[in-house]
Each structure stands twice: as C-alpha cells, then as structure tokens.
C-alpha cells in the first residue's frame, strides 16, 4: 500500500476504489467492494462468488501440492494448474528413457494417468475463532502468549478434525493477530498426472524471461483428483474413481479485450503491506543483496553441470527452478523498492502515525520499540542469511546438518537402543532421498564457494570458533580460492554420507564419535551449532517483538482511520483470497507502451533452435507458421494469443490460480508478475502492477493441436460466445 498514514486524504489508498489493490477474503466481501467489482464489469451475484449452502466459485478452487493453486475444470475432477507447480511431479515421473519433463506427456485415457505423491485441499468451511483464541491466551504476556498460541490453536482445530473424511482445521492470523479465522480443509491424496507440455513450452523463456513482460510461456499442467467410490478421500487405488466436484469452471474461448473484467481466486502465500521503514531498510541493505549473491553463485554452478548432461538436468531441475525463481524476484524487489522510494514513504507514514499517537499510551512508543528491536538484530542478519542460503545451500551440507538431531539422541543419557535405531532409520531414509537428487560435481563447487563467501563477507566475530583456523592449518591461505576447493574435494572424498560401505557400517553400529568425526558433519554442525547457541535466541526475540509491535501498530492504524479500516484487507497468508481488476496494457517506462497480449508471432521471433531457454518442438514451429490454430484463434489478432496481463493483485502461492471473466468462466492461468512491480509484497503500485497469465486458448491449443489429446478437450465445457 502507498500513503495510508499521512492524512485522512492519503488513507484513501487503503480503499480498493482507488486502484486494483487488494487480496480480499471472498466470504467477507463488503457491499462497497462488491459494488466496485460490479462497476468494473462483474456479472455474478455475491452468492455465486461465495455460498455456504450452495455450490459457488470457491468450490472449484483448491490448494495444489504444498504451495500453489489449482482449479477444477470438468465434472470428472480435472485440474488445471501451472507447469512450474506440477514440475516436481512431472520430473518425478520421468526417466532418461521416458523424459516427460523434456518431451511432454498426455494421457489419452484415464488408464494412462500417472500416480503422484501430490495432495490437493478443498476449502470446506470457515469459522471466526478470534474469541476462542483470545480467551485461551487471556492474561498472558507476549512471551507466554507466543509459547501457548499453537497449543490453543490445536485445541480448537482438534474439534473439527475428521480423519475418515480428510477434514482438518488450520487457523490463520489476520491483521497481525487482531483477528483469527479457522479454515477447514478436505484433503484428497490420490492425484494423477494427466498432461503437461514439453518443458521448452512450459518454461519457454527460462530465467531470461522470468518476471518479465512481454512473455510467451505455456505455463500449465493437468492433473486429476480421485476419491473412493463413496466420494471420500483415499490413498491411491485402482478402485478409486474421479472426484465429482461441487463446482467446476467452464472454459471460455471467445477471447478477451483490453479493459475486460478479470478476477483471480487463489491462495497467495505472503505479503507484508504494513511493513515499517525499519523492515524495508533491513531488506534492501542486507537481506536481499545477500540472498541474491549466494543464489547466483549456486545457480551458475548447477547450470554448468545441467547443460552438460541430460541426466543431471533432470536430477537438478526441480531444485534449480525453485532457487532461480526467487533469486530474480529479490533482485528486482530491491531495485523497485529503491526506485519507488518505499523506505522514505514508510518514514512519512510513521511520522504521521506518531503525530496521531501522541498522548495515547497504547501507541505512542511503538516506533521507539521498532527502532530498538532492529538495532539489536541487524548486526546478525547477514550471518543468518549466509547460513541458510550459503552454508546450507550445499545439498551435502544441508543433509549433514539434519544429522545434528541424530547426534543429540546418540549422546543423550538414558536413551534406549530402540530410540536410537529409530533415529538412524529416519536418517537412512533421508539419505536415500538426498542421494537421488545429489549431483556431486556441482555440489562440491557449491560447498567451496559458499564456505569462502561466509569467511569473506560475515563478521569474523560471528564465525564458528576454530573452524576456519582448522581449515587454514590443513589446507592453506584462506584468501585463496584454491584452498577452499582443496578442502571441499577432501570433504566429498572422505565423508561417509557419500560412501556406501562406510555408511552401512555406521547404520549397523551407530556411534557418536564416528558421526562427530565425519568431515561433512563437522562442517555443517559447526555453523549450525554456532547459530543455534549464539544467535537463534536473538532472532526469536526479534521476531516475537516485531509481532507484538505489529499487532499494536495495525490496531492503531485501524483506530486512527475507522472509515478506511472497514475497507482494509489482511496480508496474504496462504488463505483463500479473491482479487479483481481488468485486462490492461501499460507503459513500463518512458516512450514504451506494452500491449495486453502476446501472440504466436512473438514465439516465432524469440525461437532459437537448440537454445537452452528459447527452443521449441519442431511440430509447434510448423503449426504456428501454418497458422493452424483451429477454434483457438484470436480473430482480432488473426493469431494465437499466448499470454495476457491484468491489473490483479497477486503474489507467490497464486501460481496456477484461475483468471475468471465477468461471467465466471476460465480465461487463463496466473503464473507471474512483472519486473517493474516486484515491490508488490510490501508496496502495491497501481500504475505498474501487472499479473502475467497464460491464455486458456493457448493451453487448449497445446493440448489439442500440439499434444493430440482431444479426449481432454472433450471433457471440458467450452464457452464460445
């Protein structure tokens, strides 16, 4: 948000009427918000958007996997989501011989659909539990409140848990702890892969085009949810049947125009629109630059090996995509926060708040508290980022650090042999998973470079005692890159984690001394224990104090402007939200005007045969040159529309969200934001913010013309007029 503290006039930016900002709770849409939706073009009633007793749009929306959104698009439980959301499942189903990730996959009948380890969750109901939570925490100071919160949550959610029907509750803190809402979800466990385009289509443009417009990416994948014959959630079984959904989205192929209404349902993961100037400064000065530098180093080393060997590419694909996505995001976020002067704007907001708060004991010392809290933590912030993104960014070090828990059990007095065996068995299973995704060549280089960066960039007083001194004594000058490479080579050569015989001997006869002498464990545990014993408690104090201040701060904001408070929305927290706006072109910078759609022409212009990011299947190039677009052609453009942009307010977690027209039909899938507005987690820009979507007509063309899966098309309810 922008300018919501300075005066009564400036608080209008809290209101949805001034822009397309807002991730609204669909079950709590006020009359003003709904009226604005209608003004922008919505044709549906409030009950069609959200109904407790009848099927509504909300029933077609689901949590896909652990962090994306999906939508039901047929009466047989068919799911559309993004390619990058299904990426892990597609890669997991692939082998070098049957490389579905590279070549694409379509099931031409239900018998060909592929089992996955995914789950999906449907929202069953919501309950405001603010009173129950506050009653359970009544009379506690903030420290005790923090300790007891999860216990209180569990007591409430236990009342709605129903394992047989897959029901479980999850409580979300809204408005920084000023309200608590419980969402009850039904989880389905039998999810099967139905289709995905070749990776060159699903990731067309790669990292170069990521977070950029114009875009030409076919970011979609298709799954199906199955249930037992009685409709209840069930584990995978050949006896299961496709789920009969409460609601599914018709699919529109009639096309769109600049200015058309667009609505997005989904599960945005997290925003911090009420962040303070102190938080913005820490982010742009320390946290983001550190993360970007460390991820950049890791990505280059992974990519180097991925381009050499298809097997390595398949092995590292999911991890690489995850690391790369937010590497570019945080780089762009820093630049946009600086460009928009967000830090200075926040300072102005806070000055106005202090003026209002003067003489009000509950609020007048909030900013002093923030200043002291950030002063106490900031000196250690870089070290924490370098641990998580650097030291533990090495997969070997990351796995080795997980063995600290095993070590703790092995040296614990009075622990039984059975309990130790249980811990060892868990470590053995985790090692198996680790090795399946481990690339030794790239990881050895990552280990060396991240250890060296920590040494060079983090305050020496915060280094683990003795580690670098020992490295110097054994391997040479710490100013030399060769020293770290030699050490990393030794770690990989000598660790039992990578030696089957040594590991088998350890599992057969678990011994703490053996573990404590392992070079990979020595390295990872030195840094992890250094943080846990000296800095973890400081970070907990910092986070808890920020939470305490944040609750009071937001309560004060709402009291300061009670009229505006009625139109405020809570920060995103992976609870269901709806945003609305319009399909709309924009001007990213002086003298440029970007159209609201991209087409097949742009794909041909970007295409580079054999290129890592811009290659395409030969069949696609042939079809596009012939303009063989069938019923999916955009008549106004005389071309196939590939992607389009809207003014909707979304963030991570909205990946795969349905873009819905004024009549409740699916017109696209949201998959990205634009680089010019990457400050959106903290500050929404009403002029530059755009959501990048794959046009559903391109999705259907890829399925039908490119993939030949007309069976999937026939399952959909197509809207042509």
Residue 237 to residue 243: CA distance in whole angstroms: 13
Reported as type and span, the H/E element at residue 278 is helix 277-282
Residues with Cβ within 8 Å of 36's Cβ and at least 6 positions away in sequence, in order, are 16, 17, 580
Place of tokens 């597609």: 90
Which member of 116, 173, 394, 655 is catalytic?
655
Strand ranges for 210-294 from DSSP E: 221-227, 241-242, 251-252, 261-266
Nearest CA to 197 out of 671, 718, 638 is that of: 671
Is the preceding peptide bond at 214 cis, omega within 30 degrees of 0?
yes
Residue 429 to residue 410: CA distance in whole angstroms: 18
Residue 155 three-state SS: helix
Backbone angles phi, psi at 228, to 5 degrees: -65, 170
Which member of 20, 36, 219, 704 is catalytic?
219
With beta carbons less than 8 A apart as the criterion, state whether 394 and 447 touch.
Answer: yes
Residues with Cβ within 8 Å of 143's Cβ and at least 6 positions away in sequence, in order, are 544
Q: Sort residue 673 into left (φ over 0), alpha (ψ -120 to 50) or beta.
A: beta
How much of the chain is in helix, strand and coil states, percent to nearest 5? 50, 15, 35
Q: What is the CA radius of gyration of the chain?
A: 26
The 10 Å Cβ neighbour count of residue 282 is 17
The number of residues making up the chain comes to: 721
Backbone angles phi, psi at 35, to 5 degrees: -60, -35
Pairing of strands 718-719, 251-252: parallel
Which member of 13, 59, 83, 84 is catalytic?
84
Pairing of strands 597-599, 221-227: unpaired
Print burial letters for 463-490: b (CB count within 10 Å at least 16), e (below 16). Answer: bbeebbeebeeebeebeeeebbbebbee
| Catalytic residue status for 216 | no
Backbone angles phi, psi at 22, to 5 degrees: 135, 125
| Catalytic residue status for 655 | yes
| Catalytic residue status for 416 | no
For residues 329, 332, 338, 340, the Cα torsion angle rounded to the nearest 10 degrees is -90
Could you list the active site residues? 84, 219, 655
């Amino acid at each position: 948000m922008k300018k919501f503290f300075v005066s009564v006039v400036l608080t209008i930016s809290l209101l949805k009427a001034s822009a397309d900002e807002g991730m609204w709770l669909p079950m709590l849409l006020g009359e003003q918000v709904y009226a604005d939706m209608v003004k922008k073009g919505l044709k549906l009633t409030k009950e069609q958007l959200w109904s407790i007793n009848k099927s509504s749009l909300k029933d077609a929306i689901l949590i896909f996997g652990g962090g994306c959104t999906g939508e039901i698009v047929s009466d047989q439980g068919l799911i559309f989501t993004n390619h990058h959301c299904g990426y892990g499942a597609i890669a997991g189903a692939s082998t070098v011989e049957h490389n579905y990730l590279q070549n694409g996959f379509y099931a031409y009948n239900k018998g060909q659909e592929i089992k996955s380890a995914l789950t999906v969750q449907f929202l069953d109901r919501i309950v405001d539990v603010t009173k129950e939570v506050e009653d359970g925490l009544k009379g506690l100071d903030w420290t005790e409140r923090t300790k007891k919160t999860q216990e209180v949550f569990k007591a409430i959610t236990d009342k709605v848990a129903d394992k047989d029907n897959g029901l479980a509750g999850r409580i979300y803190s809204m408005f920084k702890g000023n309200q608590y809402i419980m969402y009850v979800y039904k989880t389905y466990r039998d999810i099967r892969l139905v289709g995905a385009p070749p990776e060159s289509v699903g990731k067309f443009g790669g990292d170069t085009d990521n977070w950029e417009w114009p875009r030409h990416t076919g970011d979609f994948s298709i799954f199906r949810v199955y249930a037992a014959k009685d409709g209840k959630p069930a584990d995978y079984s050949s006896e299961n049947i496709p789920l009969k959904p409460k609601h599914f989205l018709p699919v529109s192929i009639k096309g769109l125009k600049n200015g058309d209404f667009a609505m997005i349902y989904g599960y945005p993961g997290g925003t911090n629109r009420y962040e303070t100037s102190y938080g913005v400064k820490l982010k742009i000065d320390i946290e983001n630059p550190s993360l970007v530098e460390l991820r950049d180093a890791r990505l280059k080393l992974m990519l180097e090996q991925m381009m050499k060997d298809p097997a390595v590419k398949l092995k590292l694909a999911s991890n690489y995509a995850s690391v790369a996505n937010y590497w570019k995001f945080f780089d762009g976020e820093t630049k946009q926060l600086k460009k928009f002067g967000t830090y200075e704007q926040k300072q102005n907001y806070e000055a106005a708040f202090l003026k209002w708060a003067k003489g009000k004991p509950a609020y007048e010392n909030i900013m002093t508290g923030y200043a002291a809290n950030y002063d106490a933590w900031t000196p250690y912030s870089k070290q924490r980022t370098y641990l998580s993104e650097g030291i533990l960014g090495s997969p070997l070090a990351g796995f080795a650090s997980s063995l600290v828990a095993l070590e703790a059990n092995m040296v614990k007095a009075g622990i039984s042999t059975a309990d130790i065996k249980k811990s060892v068995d868990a470590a053995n299973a985790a090692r198996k998973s680790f090795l399946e995704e481990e690339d030794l060549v790239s990881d050895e280089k990552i280990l060396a470079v991240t250890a060296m960066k920590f040494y060079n960039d983090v305050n020496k007083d915060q280094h683990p005692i003795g580690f670098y001194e020992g490295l110097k004594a054994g391997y040479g000058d710490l100013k030399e890159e060769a020293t770290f490479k030699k050490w990393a080579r030794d770690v990989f050569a000598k660790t039992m984690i990578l030696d089957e015989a040594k590991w088998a001997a350890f599992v057969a006869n678990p011994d703490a001394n053996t573990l404590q002498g392992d070079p990979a464990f020595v390295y990872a545990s030195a840094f992890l224990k250094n943080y846990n014993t000296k800095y973890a408690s400081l970070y907990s104090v910092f986070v808890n104090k920020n939470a305490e201040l944040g609750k009071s701060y937001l309560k004060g904001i709402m009291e300061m402007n009670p009229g505006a408070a009625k139109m405020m929305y809570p920060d995103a927290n992976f609870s269901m939200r709806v945003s609305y706006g319009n399909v709309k072109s924009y001007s990213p910078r002086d003298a440029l005007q970007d159209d609201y759609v991209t087409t097949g022409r742009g794909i041909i212009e970007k295409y580079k045969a054999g290129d890592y990011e811009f290659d395409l299947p030969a069949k696609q190039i042939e079809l596009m040159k012939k303009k063989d677009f069938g019923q999916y052609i955009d008549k106004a453009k005389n071309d196939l529309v590939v992607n389009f942009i809207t003014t909707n307010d979304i963030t991570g977690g909205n990946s795969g969200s349905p873009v819905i027209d004024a009549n409740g039909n699916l017109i696209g899938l949201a998959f990205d934001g634009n680089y010019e507005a990457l400050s959106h987690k903290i500050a929404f820009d009403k002029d530059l913010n755009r959501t990048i979507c794959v046009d559903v007509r391109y999705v259907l063309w890829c399925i039908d013309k490119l993939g030949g899966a007309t069976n999937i098309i026939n399952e959909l309810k197509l809207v042509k007029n």
